[in-house]
Amino acid sequence: MTRSILGLTPPDLPIADIAPLAALDLVGVAVFAATGALAAARDRHDLVTMTFFAAVTGVGGGTCGTC
């Protein structure tokens, strides 16, 4: 059984309808990553910790955002 979106099966779904949603998803991940980096910068962590916080919050926020 295939999942349908708006009554269309995946082969019938136009790419133009998916592209804006994918772009919004990437923007959401970037916002979560920036939030993690800013939180690390506020606490005066080094670059490695800042990168780690950005990655963890970006992946976690992107994953939870699509749940």
**Number of folded domains that form the chain:** 1
The torsion angle over the Cα atoms of residues 36, 34, 29 and 59, rounded to 10 degrees, is: -30
pLDDT at 24 over 70: yes
Q: Is the pTM of this model over 0.75?
A: no
Residue 6 maps to a domain? no
CA atoms within 13 A on the CB side of 10: 3
Residue 61 maps to a domain? yes
Q: Which structural domain, as residue segments, surrounds residue 42? A: 25-65
Task: Tell me which of 3 and 53 has the higher pLDDT.
Answer: 53
How much is the average pLDDT of 14-22? 67
Angle of helix 47-65 versus helix 15-42 axis, rounded to 10? 140
Residue 18 maps to a domain? no
47 C-beta neighbours (distance < 10 Å), count: 10
How much is the average pLDDT of 1-28? 65
